[in-house]
Amino acid sequence: MSTQTSPNTSRPGPRPRHTREQVLAAALVVIDRDGPELFSMRRIADELGMGAMTLYGYVRNKEEVVEGVTALAFAEVHRKTPMGSGWEERLRSEVEDLHALCQRHPNLVALVLGQTSASPGLFRLRERMLGALLGAGFDETTALFALGVLTSYALGFGGTQAGHATIDLPERIRELPAGDFPNLSDAADRYAMHLSEQAFEYGLELLLSGLRADLRSYG
């Protein structure tokens, strides 16, 4: 990739040779390619052709890398909803963006869910969703509940999908003792559907129509 015609001539000035964005982009490459298990500071540095310690000039620690990568990856996937859409459209669009992030970068999801932080990379999403909910007429408490429910649903679905992506599910089910697991065994060949895109959309519509019904019951 970076061919970089050796700038280490006899000239005096060392200027930063990279940017924070390059570091985050390289981190995303590593995550996508090698998975959450193998994702490491040292591999990001390798990807950029720098010493591992140089990273710490651009980034405080590994946690900050995950936060930055999340924001970067979400920006990649976010399409503005046309204004003037109703609250339900806007909410659906935001949740689908979050789901698209999980689809596009499945290896990232485990890292996001493993964070001990508020996932600051997702605050812009939350702000827009909360705005849509309050604008629709939900009281603040219900709006916050719905915010937590919808974001948890999307991340949870993305996380379980990512975990199941690489394995042969029908095979796993058939290994179970059929006597103890009659329903799963019967459905073995169709079992993978339970984490399909259709399943995700089904759950999202359940949530949105539940919210719509709730809103109608308001004074």
Partner DNA sequence: ACCTGAACACCGTTCAAGT
Interface with DNA: number of residues (CB under 7 A): 21
Site for a second copy (CB under 8 A): which residue of 41, 159, 174, 215? 159
How is residue 17 annotated by DSSP? -
Start-to-end C-alpha separation, the chain: 61
Q: Determine, following the binding rule CB under 7 A, whether residue 39 of this chain makes contact with DNA.
A: yes
Give the one entry of DNA, a second copy, none that residue 52 binds, where binding means its C-beta sits below a cut-off of 5 to 8 angstroms depending on kind: DNA
The pair phi, psi for residue 15, each rounded to 5°, is: -105, 160
Binding mask 48-87 for DNA (x = CB under 7 A): --xxxxx-xx---xxx------------------------
Q: Determine, following the binding rule CB under 7 A, whether residue 20 of this chain makes contact with DNA.
A: no
Site for a second copy (CB under 8 A): which residue of 53, 60, 194, 218? 194
How is residue 80 annotated by DSSP? P
Nearer to DNA, 38 or 193 (CB): 38
Nearer to DNA, 17 or 78 (CB): 17
Gyration radius of the chain's alpha carbons: 22
Give the one entry of DNA, a second copy, none that residue 2 binds, where binding means its C-beta sits below a cut-off of 5 to 8 angstroms depending on kind: none
Residues with Cβ within 8 Å of residue 192, at least 6 apart in sequence: 164, 169, 170
The Cα 149–Cα 155 span in angstroms is 10
Nearer to DNA, 43 or 90 (CB): 43
Phi-psi region of 5 (alpha: psi -120 to 50; beta: other; left: phi over 0): beta
Q: How far is the CB of 175 from a second copy (least distance, A)?
A: 9
Tokens of 110: 């485990």
Q: What is the identity of the amino acid at 36?
A: P
**105-134: which residues touch a second copy (CB under 8 A)?**
109-110, 113-120, 123-124, 126-127, 130-131, 134
Q: Determine, following the binding rule CB under 7 A, whether residue 7 of this chain makes contact with DNA.
A: no
Site for a second copy (CB under 8 A): which residue of 75, 137, 202, 218? 202
Q: How far is the CB of 156 from DNA (least distance, A)?
A: 25
The Cα 132–Cα 212 span in angstroms is 13
Residue with tokens 């399943």: 199
Nearer to DNA, 17 or 124 (CB): 17
Burial class (CB in 10 A: 0-12, 13-18, 19+), 219: exposed
**18-47: which residues touch a second copy (CB under 8 A)?**
36
